[in-house]
Amino acid sequence: MRLIIATRGSKLALWQSNHIKSLLEDMGHEVELQIFKTKGDKILDTPLALIGGKGLFTKELEDAMLRGEAHLAVHSLKDVPTQLPQGLMLGAITKREVVNDAFLSEKYESIEDLPPNAVVGTTSLRRRMQLLHYRPDLQIKDLRGNVDTRIKKLKNGEFDAIILAYAGLKRLGFLESVRFVKPIDENLMIPAMGQAALGIECVPEVLEVVETLNDKKSQIETEIEREFVDTLQGGCQVPIGVRAQLLDNGDIITKAVIGMPDGSELLKDKIIGNVENYSDLGKELAQSMIENGAQEILKRAEEIAFAEHKR
């Protein structure tokens, strides 16, 4: 089959699209990339949480597929909103290895080694919240841009440390280029829904081809994570962390966190289920947290983020 992949132009997006391109070529297909700019690529000076709207990194690619200009798009699953436009589907979720966030520094070995008032770069409310909860003495400074830009800023000495997804660093071969790179314990920093997985969105005509790239374990875990976030009505730009882990014995442990971006309040919960019957785990965990005030906390978190930005 002749297939067109709609892709963003960032290094990470191109790596991911080329990775899927070569897997499809190995299966005998002819594959071409088409580059599109998304809103998230154009607005570089505003924290994503404040640009608003879902699908900042996906909409233009989806529009291209709906216009018939492309058959599929390879996304970082965590950037894909929980609800897809009509006519498109997630045909495959790829295997994830290290799901954790990573600590990166040229000077310090770990979060524990950071001195008081050390400057840490991240714009993610989820990362800021969990880091400040653990180390209220740290200073968090905004850091946006592509993965390569963010590493350049760390190397320029603007930050004592930064936080990025381990998976993205590994794909781009950056694990060796920074002096200290360390996965952060998931109990300290719960990742974002879908982190480390690629989500391949496609038109129905190519579903049969795309499906062959699906990893069942990754699909089950991320379905739970996405249902959790969907039930709470949050995108990837809100202070929500969730991680489902399917163990070899079939048990599934799902842990989640929501809270205030300044780390002053954190609500954590978990649910244990089994792969034989996992379809409602995400919803059940969300409902349990809603009973404990989750939505009220998320609403306050959003108000504070906007007020801070206006100042």
Ligand X SMILES: NCc1[nH]cc(CCC(=O)O)c1CC(=O)O
Would you say 174 and 151 are in contact if contact means Cβ atoms under 8 Å apart? yes
The least distance separating ligand X from the CB of residue 68, rounded to whole angstroms, comes to 27
Of 150-179, binders to ligand X (CB under 6 A) are 164-165, 167-168
Residue closer to ligand X (CB basis): 127 or 133: 127
Residue closer to ligand X (CB basis): 131 or 273: 131
Distance CA 82, CA 93 (A): 14
Of 60-79, binders to ligand X (CB under 6 A) are 76, 78-79
Residue closer to ligand X (CB basis): 90 or 273: 90
Active site amino acids: 79
The least distance separating ligand X from the CB of residue 122, rounded to whole angstroms, comes to 9
The least distance separating ligand X from the CB of residue 213, rounded to whole angstroms, comes to 15
Distance CA 38, CA 8 (A): 7
144 binds ligand X (CB under 6 A): no
Residues 188-207 as x/- pattern, contact with ligand X by CB under 6 A: -------xx-----------
Of 279-308, binders to ligand X (CB under 6 A) are none
The least distance separating ligand X from the CB of residue 147, rounded to whole angstroms, comes to 5
Residue closer to ligand X (CB basis): 168 or 273: 168
3-state secondary structure 254-293: EEEEEECCCCCCEEEEEEEEEHHHCCCHHHHHHHHHHHCC
Which parts of this chain interact with ligand X (CB under 6 A)? 76, 78-79, 147, 164-165, 167-168, 195-196
